[in-house]
Every structure is written in structure tokens, then in C-alpha cells.
Structure 1
């Protein structure tokens, strides 16, 4: 059976890094201590000034030193080509390709095997950049992120373009947030704190679990007298859904990295809203042997009432992943 590997997106520690509570070394050491040796970054977060003003070579050297010191593996640089909002104009095709090539160079500089492309990038841009990625030993992975999914026409269009190109430098990075089987508890609690009446919040939560069409939920909330925050809570149903993990199987040959999105890990090491047990079974069935990189996004839903403990949340998910993957415990190894 293929062995799934564990990693962490340093995006999980965004509160801690932006507030100066964790350095790059703190982040990498923390991941290594958890046995999560795969390190994924967002360039803008980890290397201030990228991509507008480049990056300090000393920072790159520090990166490589820390990766070696803590016996970790560079996995992915997640880049942000927002070509629609570039200097007040839409970025022309050739400039988009050149921008992707710049991030390919950056990923290669950091020793990454993959770079993550935002789902908004047209397949033609990635196909045009693929030969350069091949030269640099980089695979470009487009993120399949809710509300999109593997049967969405935009993703199908990418898949068709990738196959037609014949390039192995193009693939997919599924975000596990598209398998949101239950309305996250931290979302509901936050909406209630900002004014959503409990009976409306309860209705939206139940409607999500019953898979009621989002437009009907929004209409019903309006008729219940819901305003402002209540409408915003109902609107989340338009952007999230419980798609089927098994749909990854048809795309497995081009799936090379996984975003282990989660919003809350409880004390029992369980994510209440995303079915990781089923997800891991599907990945194992498909022979996936890449990384699942923890991506904690519950921080933004609780920081108004408590200081997020991102490290503890990631630790809990890593413990869950160890169990689901079937990773041997130190006791079992000794025996």
C-alpha cells in the first residue's frame, strides 16, 4: 500500500508569524517535532517582498539551512497570480506566462517539487508554462478548491488541456475543504456572536446538512427576518458543499499534493466537519503517496474571542493523520 506522507502548510501559522510570535525556524522546528517533514509555503508570507521586490539571498540560504537542520522536505510554493487586479488592468497572456515562470524559478530556488496555482488561472497559461517547468524539475498543480470540484466544467477544462498537452508538469492539488460534510461549529459560533439569531443559525446548519439548495436557504432566511450577518451566513452555502472524495480517484495520476484544510480539531482528535477517515481511505485506494499538508483556517473564525492556538490545532490534526494513515507508533516500532 502506498504510504501517504505528512506535511504542514506554514499558512497554518499565519497569526503567529504575522504577529512575530514564530520565526521561520520556529515553524519548521515545530513541524519537524510533529514528524510532519513536508513543508509548504505561501511565498508572500514566508519571504517578505516576494514577488514584487524579489527576495533576499540570505533568506534563501537560511531556508535551506533550516530545511537541512531539521531534516525536512520542501514540498510546494503556493503562488498568487491575480491577473485580473494587476496594476488596474488585466494582465496580458504573455505577462501571465512570464509571471508563472518567475514563480517556477522561485520554487526551484527553494528546492520545491511543486508550485500551487490558483484555480482562477486559465489552463492555457499553465500549458504555455509547462515546458519551462519541465526544464526546472517543477510540477504546476492547480488547486481544486470549493466551490469548485472535480466535476466542475472549469476543472474539467483544465484536465482536458493537461491531457492534450502531454506534459507531466501539470497536475492537481485538491483542497479538502470541498468535502465539507457538516457546517463547521466555529463558523456557526462566530455568526451567532455577530448577531445571527440562534433559531436562524440552527436552521442554516440543518439546511446545510440536509443539502438544501442554497438559493432556497437564502430566501427562507430573508423570510425569517434575517438581515446582514444572517444573510452572510446563508451565503456560505453557495461557496461550500459536500462533494464526494471518491471523485479524486479518476484524477489520481495527476494529484501530487493535498491541502489538509481544517477548521477545528477537538480534544478527541476529530475534525467535526470534514470526513478525513473517508478521505484517507480514498487516497489509499488510489495509491496516493504524496503529502497531506495541514492547512488550518479556523483561526479567523475564533480570533475575536480567543487567541488561536494554531500549533496545538495542527498537532491534533497530525495525530489524527498518523492514526488514519496507519503510521507506526514508537511503541510498535520498538516491539
Structure 2
């Protein structure tokens, strides 16, 4: 089946290199373009010094010059409204709305048709900013992020508000971390290096893949008295899940961008924990036409023991996408 899915990158994937100042904004955009990942998603606090304070016109001019130079397309700005920790107090409703409008205006200046909103933002705040988003031509997308999923009551509340408003400037951005089918190898190996006994790590891994209720497994490990690393590993079960990718089909008319989360890409172009070979056919079936934006988060699981090469990891995922998105040859009868 033909598809119009496009390939992109969240610059968050290169957080290791940008934080250590090994790569500039231009470097990471150039690297993405070389892979054929021409859609660019940006976490502005990572890429623009001083944001969310007002940025000079020169910053936007530079951004657009880079887009032109490398043939890339602005896709999404990830807003980071953390209203519960704002200056040590809860941000009032009116301030949340005003803060989101700053992000929407910023996304518009970047040329991004979408801005990602954190899942903690209330449906009422989204409803309040919808008219401004329409004015600016920016769709605000709630990130569906583990441990939430499309059947979670909070996501259902958001969906009900979107449908009631009827605004086509509100939608969803699913993070593929809601489809972690197997316990990530790099997680397990890190916890073992930190002191989790290998037998306990095996037990946790097997329990996750058997879909055993997290609290039962946590209770098991508490009884084992296996130490803090074992407890840290087992409590990850509270925050991760494998939902059914086909549940995206019901919401596809509101899915406009995707975080293609991954923790590890092997040399043979496989993500061992997230089954993209099952996910992408669902997107094709649903007629998804947006970007798959690579989001590498494996760096934090290997940096204690191994060099981090985010560029190579993203390159491998993009090569996997190129393969999975290529039209399959049609068999002809003799």
C-alpha cells in the first residue's frame, strides 16, 4: 500500500552532543538532512539560548537560513509548560494560557505547523488557546506519552473536548514509547552495571514481557531485598507499557505528528524493544501523512560506560524507516 509518511528528526535526539557543545544547531540540522530526514522538530530551550524569553529577529533569520541551506522543513516546536513548578508555585489558569500563546507565536515564527503540548496541560487550557492557535495557523498537539495511552481517561477527556469544540487546530502527537513491547536491553544492562543482580533483572524483564501487573512485580523484588538498583529497575514498570498500536486508528484524524521514540538501534537496523514493523503498517492503514520524527533517548542509558553516538543511532533508525516505508514489490502471476 502506498503511503505519504515523511521522515524527520526531533533535535532532542542530539541532546548529548548539543549539551556538551560537540555539535551546533547547524551541525545537527546538517546531519539530519544527510540522512534524508528533512522534517525538523525542535525543543527551543535546547536550541535557542534564552528561550522562552523573547528572541531577537536574528535568531529566526538564522533558523530560516538553515532550513533553506539544507532543504529541511520546520515541523514542530515542543513547548515545555511546567505549570506545577513555575517559580515554586502553581501557575494560575490565565498565566498558563498566556504562556502557551508565547509558544504558539514562537512556533509560527519558526514556520512550524505544530507545537507539542505536554500531556499534563488541562483540556480547559487547550480550549482557551484554540482560537489563538487558529489565528496563528499552528496546531497544538497533546503528546500521548507513557504511562498514558489512548484509552486513558485523561486522554479521553482531551479527545472529548477537541471533538466538542470542533477545532481542527487541536490534536494528538503520540510518542511511540507507549508501544514498548520488550523491556529495553540498554535499560537492563545499565541497572545491572549499577548493582542489580542479573537474576533479578531477568525476573523483571520476563515479568514485563508477560504483562504482569507492575505492583505484583515490585512486591516480589521488595521481598528479594536485592538493593536500590533492583528497586529502581522494577519501578520503571509503573511508567512504561505496551499498548495496542491499532488504537491509533480511531484517533488518526487528530494525529498530526509522531515522536518515533527509540532507545537502541542495532547494527542490523532493529529497535529491540519497540516493534516498528508492527506500528508503521497501522499508520499506513490509517492514512497518516505526517512525519515520523526520530527521538533518541538511549544516550542516558549508555553514557556511564560507552561513548554516545546519537548521530549514528538516528541514522540507523532513519535507514530502518526508509526500508519499512518503501513500497513492497507486487507479485505478478506468470
TM-score range, shorter chain: over 0.9
Task: Kindly state the Cα deviation for residue 56 of structure 1 after the two structures are TM-superposed.
Answer: 3.0
Q: Secondary structure at the residue paired with 2:84?
A: helix
Aligned to 2:123: 123
CA-to-partner distance for each residue in 1:137-167, whole Å, 9 max, x for gaps?
0000000000000000000000000011111
Unmatched 5+ stretches in structure 1: 329-335
Aligned to 1:32: 33
Aligned to 1:64: 64
Q: For residues 291 and 83 of structure 1, what CA distance do their matches in structure 2 show?
A: 28
Q: For residues 81 and 75 of structure 1, what CA distance do their matches in structure 2 show?
A: 19
Q: Secondary structure at the residue paired with 1:272?
A: coil
Q: For residues 9 and 56 of structure 1, what CA distance do their matches in structure 2 show?
A: 23
Q: For residues 199 and 25 of structure 1, what CA distance do their matches in structure 2 show?
A: 45
Query: Residues 60 and 327 from structure 1, CA distance in 2 versus in 1: closer, same or farther, beyond 3 angstroms?
Result: farther
Kept in 1: contact 2:3–2:325 (CA 8 A): no
Runs of 4+ in 1 over 6 A off after TM superposition: none
Task: Kindly state the Cα deviation for residue 327 of structure 1 after the two structures are TM-superposed.
Answer: 6.2
Q: Which residues of 2 match residues 69-218 of structure 1 at below 5 A?
A: 69-218=69-218
CA-to-partner distance for each residue in 1:52-74, whole Å, 9 max, x for gaps?
x2223222111100001111100
Aligned to 2:332: none
Paired positions, count: 327
CA-to-partner distance for each residue in 1:191-246, whole Å, 9 max, x for gaps?
00001001100100111111111001001011122221111100000100111100
2:268 counterpart of 1:253: no
Q: For residues 99 and 167 of structure 2, what CA distance do their matches in structure 1 show?
A: 19
2:243 counterpart of 1:238: no
CA-to-partner distance for each residue in 1:250-281, whole Å, 9 max, x for gaps?
00000000000000000100000000011000
Aligned to 1:2: 3
Q: For residues 133 and 17 of structure 2, what CA distance do their matches in structure 1 show?
A: 33
Q: Secondary structure at the residue paired with 2:234?
A: helix
Aligned to 2:55: 55
Aligned to 2:310: 310
Q: For residues 88 and 208 of structure 2, what CA distance do their matches in structure 1 show?
A: 38
Task: Kindly state the Cα deviation for residue 85 of structure 1 after the two structures are TM-superposed.
Answer: 0.7
Q: For residues 258 and 72 of structure 1, what CA distance do their matches in structure 2 show?
A: 17
TM-score, normalised to structure 2's length? Answer: 0.97
Kept in 1: contact 2:302–2:308 (CA 8 A): yes
Q: For residues 95 and 223 of structure 2, what CA distance do their matches in structure 1 show?
A: 48
Mean CA deviation greater in 282-291 or 81-90 = 81-90
Unmatched 5+ stretches in structure 2: 329-334
Q: For residues 19 and 56 of structure 1, what CA distance do their matches in structure 2 show?
A: 24
2:39 counterpart of 1:41: no
